[in-house]
A and B are shown apart, each in its own frame.
Chain A
């Protein structure tokens, strides 16, 4: 026994006052209608509970066919219970015992996990507290005898026994209510408990805040399914993410446009959300909305300090992470990731730029407000304070990108984004260079003979080329995206490498 095992004789099981995820009301009668029931009291925070759910979960369906109904009863909100059970592969029913945990108290649960076997007629047969594989096997043996069927038992794998965690029900009821009751606890901590976070504190999405964010829009309208978990992006959920991120309601049209953009299949959010690559979703904003909502395109354009930039990018990432289920370490499999995955929104400084802005390049009118999303790696700063000709500067900018993705992976088909600072842009303006000329120069400048690229990770293009064939860094000039942003002083531009190999295309949506 880990924390204690007991046979309970002919005591009747107390009634359950718990909410379930189908059926909504979980009762002893309902659970034992087909034979016997196994209650597994657990808590989301308890590692031993997680162990029990992982080991018992795969057996639940076979048990159900034999007449044993298993239910995991969480001392957590029902939505947390459902998500945790899904993540851990629990195959039985799911229920939540809300504070002050009447079901756990009725069953005298002091430790989670605790397994309770209820036999025919609602008779308590036995309990196992903590993780205790031999005791659980014996309990399941007893259930099998009652049902006249052999029941699968969890494998006798290490650890055979593991102590459980203190049940919340074991805490004084008034204290438990104070910790967990509405308005009585710490709302910000509750958001962490619910998992409604990207790791930083969030603004609780109260119904009032979400309604204000929606601004009269139909919250039930759907923008589509968010991969990888295919959660439905109703406008209400998008608004909840915008509230969580700290957006003002004025930002919501931009958030919604960004959501529509990433859900375009051409963007391949599915691949980006689960990849081991570091890729994040860069949001570029053009048009009058930049000034209207206070987006920064000047000093520190890629950094901190501006609520609109930071919260719009964060709202989009929360949509992907929460509604879409791309939780880092779970379905988001990024080996390293990068800080832009918290949120990455930049506005182009169209007024300083010598060129037509990105959204005009992409077919929109200059007066339209447009969001463009691009799968992007983290920014790599490019310092050049000494070039005195546009050719030298263009050469430096282009070659800085030679090691993006990988030093020998040439050519890149997906877009590399160059954020050109105002002083660098001024040099091209003074020389009369168009965006097309700069892009073509950069494309032509970065080439190597195939033989120099035959090392480690390289492309089929390099393998197929003759040794002296010049291979470019990019597959075409169009794979070079040029934006202008940043402070008026300082000659630091940046390049953002691409999300590679996914066929992800740039997508733009008008802000409406």
Chain B
């Protein structure tokens, strides 16, 4: 039956990426805070950053070009190599 039709879907099966292991504690970790440029996302990250630092976490801030486009691969690489934790501020 399936051979009679041409599917409009890309039927390739993609393996789900497993979640990275979660640390038992944030103490001593490094966190990258990603601002996707949604309205007031930076304010949210300011507060999160304050709380993380109080909990002994070092932080770095990165920003997407625009919220509506996928992050550049170079930015993803920067995040992946920059720390063990990531916090992303999504929508307003």
Contacts and interface: CB of A to CB of B under 8 A. Distances in A.
A79 B68 contact: no
Q: Which of B3, B7, B9, B67 has the most CB of A within 10 A?
A: B9
A176 to B, nearest CB: 13
A502 interface: yes
Contact of A503 (B2, B11, B16, B69): B69
Interface string A9-34: 00000000000011000000000000
B14 to A, nearest CB: 8
A244 B8 contact: yes
Q: Which of B3, B4, B10 has the most CB of A within 10 A?
A: B10
A196 interface: yes
A82 interface: yes
B68 A237 contact: no
A231 B9 contact: yes
Contacts of B6: 205-207, 210, 236-237, 239-240, 243
Q: Which of B1, B6, B66, B69 has the most CB of A within 10 A?
A: B6
Contacts of B23: none
A78 B2 contact: yes
Given A61-B18, A271-B69, A275-B68, A207 B4 contact: yes
A232 interface: yes
Contacts of A323: 8-10
Interface string B6-29: 111111011010100000000000
Contacts of A77: 1-2
Nearest to A94: B13
Contact of A79 (B4, B11, B66, B70): B11
Contacts of B7: 79, 196, 205, 237, 240
A270 B1 contact: no
Contact of A82 (B3, B13, B68): B13
A98 B2 CA distance: 10
A501 to B, nearest CB: 7
Contact of B68 (A78, A322, A503): A503
Contact of A205 (B8, B10, B13, B70): B8
Given A77-B1, A79-B2, A322 B8 contact: yes
A294 interface: no
A319 interface: yes
A239 B7 CA distance: 10
Contacts of A61: 16, 18
A91 interface: yes
Q: Which of B1, B8, B16, B68 has the most CB of A within 10 A?
A: B8
A83 interface: yes
B2 A21 contact: no
A322 B9 contact: yes
B5 A207 contact: yes
Contacts of A86: 14
A134 B11 CA distance: 35
Interface in B33-92: 66-70
A5 interface: no
A304 interface: no
B13 A240 contact: no
Contacts of A502: 66, 68-69
A233 to B, nearest CB: 8
Q: Which of B1, B5, B7, B68 has the most CB of A within 10 A?
A: B5
A484 to B, nearest CB: 31
Contacts of A239: 6
Contacts of B69: 268, 270-271, 502-503
A140 interface: no
A241 interface: yes
Interface string A479-512: 0000000000000000000000111000000000
B10 A229 contact: yes
Interface string A320-335: 0011000000000000
Contacts of B67: 501
Contact of A206 (B4, B10, B14, B66): B4
Contacts of A236: 6
Given A270-B68, A270-B69, A502-B68, A206 B8 contact: no
Contacts of B13: 21-22, 82, 94
A231 B16 CA distance: 16
A150 interface: no
A230 B70 CA distance: 12
Contact of B10 (A210, A231, A243): A231
Contact of A241 (B3, B8, B11): B8
Nearest to A502: B68
Nearest to B10: A231
B8 A196 contact: yes
Contacts of A503: 66, 68-69
Given A227-B70, A231-B10, A271-B69, 10 more contacts: A79-B9, A82-B13, A182-B1, A230-B10, A236-B6, A237-B8, A237-B10, A243-B6, A271-B68, A275-B68
Interface of A: 21-22, 61, 77-79, 82-83, 86, 91, 94, 98, 180-182, 196, 204-207, 210, 227, 229-232, 236-237, 239-241, 243-244, 268, 270-271, 275, 318-319, 322-323, 501-503
24 contacts: A61-B16, A61-B18, A78-B2, A83-B9, A98-B1, A180-B1, A182-B4, A196-B5, A196-B9, A205-B7, A205-B8, A206-B4, A206-B6, A207-B3, A229-B10, A236-B6, A237-B10, A240-B5, A241-B8, A268-B69, A270-B69, A271-B66, A501-B68, A503-B66
